[in-house]
Structure 1
Amino acid sequence: MSRFLIVVPPLTGHLTPLRPVAARLAARGHHVVWAGAGRWLRDRLGPVAEIHDCVPASFTVGAREPGLRGLAALRFLVEDFLRPLATAMLPGLRAAIVRHRPDVVVTDQQAWAGAYAAAEAGLPWATSASTSAELCDPYPPNVHDWLRGCFTHQRWVADPRLSPHLILAFSVPALAGPAATTSPSVRWVGPVPQDDPGAWTSPWPTGKPLVLVTLGTQSTETGARFLRECAGALAARPGLNAVIADPGRVVGPCPEHVHVTPWVPQQAVLKRAGLVICHAGHNTVTESLWHGQPLVVAPIRDDQTVVAAQVVSAGAGVRLRFAHATAAHIGAAVDTIRADPGYAHAAARIRSACRAAGGADEAVTHLEALARSTTLIPEVTR
């Protein structure tokens, strides 16, 4: 039995792929401890999970302006969230390592403190690449140099986003494309659907093609206009059924074939969908393609632009401009995908690659191998 400390930021999408991995580790007899924002983790993992709270109650993040895009959004993410979060978490993670004595630290690529604390303690650490965007090195040289400069305050690690020991990439090269890193530490394990997909009962007795519309968990404030335009586009297509996830309750009345709900069991709906309209969030995209569903993607910010480009390059979807897409644009994109079987064929090809990648079981196999390893690639010079 090995001991694993799993470090995550308080971001739902970054927790998602690690939950089935942790469940598989526990099922194989390993000891798993989660580290992060204690109350936030407890709300999502339930009363049984072992949790080490390492985010002080005093830690706060200023509100991000809804319209922030591009480099301004990246600067906010790094300077106003990721770096302060790493500083806040590091003392608690040092204590967690002393208390729980992990053999391996598994840290999300945006929980930099996990890499710092593990390397400082001389422990092997694995990166959970909850998005493949940064494996493609998407930044121009000046941004790349600025970003690397953000890591220099910790001398233990050259880049806390990319472990030299093991990177679990929850995607596949068939989607990420040839630009993805060829680092020897990357293991493409594919998406990891939740073990319990939930139940969903269709509100319609007929079997018309189904479209799912979702903007994930972080876009409620910015998504109102786009969701309403989606509703308009789908209302004009009575030959389709549509489910719109509307947590902010911003979509008004719709015809019977357009079902608007604050929340959907996404995995259960994806099993029946034929097309997905989304913000190009990595989890939504990979889960959709795991089910073989082509996509209309309208990226908002952060890694979503890179993921949307991957979808288009792979031939599995159509990209729209989030801030400018109208019901006419959205409807035309839906019609294009439905009229051209090439999109469905590309999605099916990626589905096959995803299912062959191994998912949570493959991730656990690599983590177990790392725990057994006695020879590690050295970190930066001490």
Structure 2
Amino acid sequence: MSGFLFVVPPLVGHINPTVGVAAELAARGHRVAWTCADPALVRRLAGPDAAVLPCAGPVPAARPPELRGPEALKYLWEAYLLPLADAMAPGVRAAVGEFRPDTVVVDQQAFAGALVAERLGLPWATSATTSAELTGAYDGIPKVADWLRARLSELRARIGDPAGDTDPRFSPHLLLAFSSPELAGPSAARGDHIHYVGPSIADRPAAPGFPWQWLDPGRAKVLVTLGTANADVGGRFLAECVNALRARTDRVQAVVADPGGTLPASGDDKDVLVLPSVPQLPLLERVDAVVCHAGHNTVCEALWHGVPLVVAPIRDDQPVVAAQVVDAGAGVRVRFGRVTAARLGPALDAVLHEPAHRAAAGRVRAAFRAAGGAPAAAVHLERLAADARPEESR
């Protein structure tokens, strides 16, 4: 039996992929614990009995909606990721001392986990919940890449081993990527320690009350979602989606996630159902297309079910993920900031009615399912822990 400590930021999209891996390890008899700045969020996603060791950390703040591209990335690092690492480091060290893990599993944006593990001489694995940084996303922008390396060097001097040189985003021991080359593309990083395990899909607690009887078996179904972190910028986009969908209600029915409450309540509307949150995984078993922001989790969960997408990336890794969807043939890209119902409508028609997109989504689905998901990730983590164990104790 080995002990695995998961170090995660308080972000739903970064915790969800590890939930199934942690459950698989626990089912195999291993000790599992988490450390996070929001223990309640981990327990909501991983279950109320999850062992969570608290650490400090800032609450994610809404970014200025006008920020895009490198400026949005710079803001993310300076205003959140780097302060998060500084704040988490003492708690991560305390969690390691209390839980005594054999291996630390570190989210790619939880830099403190990697730097603390390295300093303490513990083997650590990267949990890459997006494949964007594995495809050389910043190679064509050397100033951005240099800026990121400089900030990580300064962070290492504060909380890590100053003599070390490993990039905390990429473990040299084991890197688990929750995607597959069929989506990530031919430029995706390869190596003996890099394993594309596909999405880690686990059951999630979902609030009861979704009106499943509302779904019309005679019409195609479309799910519209911008994830949990974009409520502040999505009002206009969601309204244009609704307009495009209402022009097609003779053949299409839509469910729209609107956590920010930007749209009128749907009431007894039989064509467009607007809710603050939706049971996404069960819905994906029933829908024919997804309109989203190209968030990695939503994209991978849709393609896990073979559902083609209309992607409208907003910032961060989303343009990279959107390009992966289009390059794989599994969807159509539209411009988030300039989309209109007139432009969105043909994109919807394409993914709903052109067989090539559904066929491509089916190919990615098959690749995802063959990659192994959470069980495959658990096997790789077991091997890492076993290899690090002293020979006499194996």
Give the TM-score normalised by structure 1: 0.94
Q: Compared with structure 1, are the counterparts of its residues 118 and 271 closer, same or farther at alpha carbon in structure 2 (3 Å cutoff)?
A: same
Q: Does 1:195 align with 2:196?
A: no
Partner residue in 1 for 2:159: none
Q: Which contiguous aligned blocks of 4+ residues in structure 1 show a shift greater than 6 angstroms?
A: none
Q: Does 1:186 align with 2:194?
A: yes
CA distance in structure 2 between the aligned counterparts of 1:143 and 1:204, rounded to whole angstroms: 46
Displacement of 1:100: 1.1
Partner residue in 2 for 1:125: 124
* Counterpart residue type for residue 319 of structure 1: R
Higher helix fraction (1 or 2): 2
Q: Compared with structure 1, are the counterparts of its residues 111 and 29 closer, same or farther at alpha carbon in structure 2 (3 Å cutoff)?
A: same
* Residue-by-residue CA offset, 1:59-94 (whole Å, 9 max, x unaligned): 456542122111111001111111111111111111
Displacement of 1:184: 2.7
Displacement of 1:126: 0.3
Q: Compared with structure 1, are the counterparts of its residues 167 and 29 closer, same or farther at alpha carbon in structure 2 (3 Å cutoff)?
A: same
Unaligned runs of 5+ in 2: 157-161
Displacement of 1:194: 1.9
* Residue-by-residue CA offset, 1:89-120 (whole Å, 9 max, x unaligned): 11111111111110000010000000001000
Displacement of 1:333: 0.4
Is the deviation greater in 274-283 or in 257-266? 257-266
SS of 1:244's equivalent? strand
Once the two structures are superposed, the pairs formed by residues 252-267 of structure 1 within 5 Å of their partners are 252=264, 255-267=269-281
Partner residue in 2 for 1:379: none
Displacement of 1:331: 0.8
Q: Does 1:245 align with 2:257?
A: yes
Once the two structures are superposed, the pairs formed by residues 86-101 of structure 1 within 5 Å of their partners are 86-101=85-100
Displacement of 1:53: 0.6
Displacement of 1:205: 4.2
CA distance in structure 2 between the aligned counterparts of 1:20 and 1:257, rounded to whole angstroms: 34
Partner residue in 2 for 1:22: 22
CA distance in structure 1 between the aligned counterparts of 2:61 and 2:233, rounded to whole angstroms: 16
* Residue-by-residue CA offset, 1:277-331 (whole Å, 9 max, x unaligned): 0000000000000000000000001000000000000011000000000011111
Once the two structures are superposed, the pairs formed by residues 325-336 of structure 1 within 5 Å of their partners are 325-336=339-350
CA distance in structure 2 between the aligned counterparts of 1:292 and 1:61, rounded to whole angstroms: 32
Partner residue in 2 for 1:288: 302
Partner residue in 2 for 1:104: 103
Q: Compared with structure 1, are the counterparts of its residues 196 and 46 closer, same or farther at alpha carbon in structure 2 (3 Å cutoff)?
A: closer
Contact 1:288–1:294 at 8 Å: present in 2 too? yes
Q: Does 1:342 align with 2:356?
A: yes
Contact 1:119–1:157 at 8 Å: present in 2 too? no
CA distance in structure 2 between the aligned counterparts of 1:196 and 1:80, rounded to whole angstroms: 30
Partner residue in 2 for 1:113: 112
Displacement of 1:39: 4.0
CA distance in structure 1 between the aligned counterparts of 2:218 and 2:7, rounded to whole angstroms: 43
Contact 1:228–1:252 at 8 Å: present in 2 too? no
CA distance in structure 1 between the aligned counterparts of 2:21 and 2:387, rounded to whole angstroms: 19
Q: Does 1:169 align with 2:177?
A: yes
SS of 1:334's equivalent? helix
CA distance in structure 2 between the aligned counterparts of 1:302 and 1:366, rounded to whole angstroms: 28
Unaligned runs of 5+ in 1: 377-382
State percent identity of aligned pairs.
Answer: 54
Is the deviation greater in 355-364 or in 182-191? 182-191
CA distance in structure 2 between the aligned counterparts of 1:89 and 1:352, rounded to whole angstroms: 38
Contact 1:103–1:123 at 8 Å: present in 2 too? yes
SS of 1:98's equivalent? helix
* Residue-by-residue CA offset, 1:221-254 (whole Å, 9 max, x unaligned): 1001000100000011011111111111212266
Displacement of 1:47: 3.2
Aligned length: 374
Give the TM-score normalised by structure 2: 0.91
CA distance in structure 1 between the aligned counterparts of 2:328 and 2:389, rounded to whole angstroms: 37
Contact 1:151–1:158 at 8 Å: present in 2 too? no
CA root-mean-square deviation: 1.7
Q: Compared with structure 1, are the counterparts of its residues 48 and 197 closer, same or farther at alpha carbon in structure 2 (3 Å cutoff)?
A: closer
Contact 2:214–2:270 at 8 Å: present in 1 too? no
Q: Compared with structure 1, are the counterparts of its residues 207 and 247 closer, same or farther at alpha carbon in structure 2 (3 Å cutoff)?
A: same
